[in-house]
Amino acid sequence: MRRAILLSAIFSLVILGSAVDGEATPKKRLDEATQVCRILTFQNSGWASEGSRIFTESCKSCHTRDNDRGATFLHSESKTMAAWNRVFYEKYPQCAKSGQWDRLSAEDLRKLNDYLFRNAANTYNPNDADDCG
Ligand code: HEC
């Protein structure tokens, strides 16, 4: 019995392990609001992109580790690709509703969405040439 439990635990670890393996970095993103397929490259959505800069300047002003603004720590890997799309499509966060995003243009928000989507949780795959070299 014990052995069966151990074996099934090992088995589910193997299955889970393969499920959480990173997918490759996405090459495009369908922007639901505009129905435009946005092509993602390192230049326009990598960590040196404009979207990354907007995130640092306009979001990390609050969402840093141990901040005193009551904001959770956020980085691109805090959410999956689908979850980041939902953040920007629905604009449900409290800070979006209270006007903290107002000075960003619609295009700035799309660039920010591109950056966070491209670098979201599970998007790093060491076997993908794009991620490795
Ligand atoms: C003035 C401070 C402030 C700024 C600037 C700010 N936020 Fe927030 N944000 C908050 C607070 C406070 C909350 C509510 C507490 C929480 O859930 O983190 C929140 C909530 C959120 C949430 C929900 C939390 C979660 O874990 O899902 C997301 C996503 C988010 N913000 C994203 C952003 C993005 C993207 C930007 C930049 C465009 C941004 N925030 C800018 C203060 C801020």
Of the candidates 56, 8, 86, the one whose C-alpha atom is nearest the C-alpha of residue 96 is 86
**Mean per-residue pLDDT, 84-113:** 98
Where is pLDDT greater, at 97 or 3? 97
56 lines ligand 1 (CB under 6 A): no
Report the alpha-carbon distance of residue 30 to residue 89 in Å, rounded.
11
Q: Please give the number of the atom of ligand 1 that sits closest to the Cα of 116.
A: 35
Name the residue of 66, 85, 100, 112 whose CB sits within 8 Å of the most ligand 1 atoms, as the mutation to test its pocket.
Answer: 100
| Residue-wise pLDDT tens digits, 82-91 | 999 999 999 9
Mean pLDDT over each residue of the chain, to the nearest integer? 88
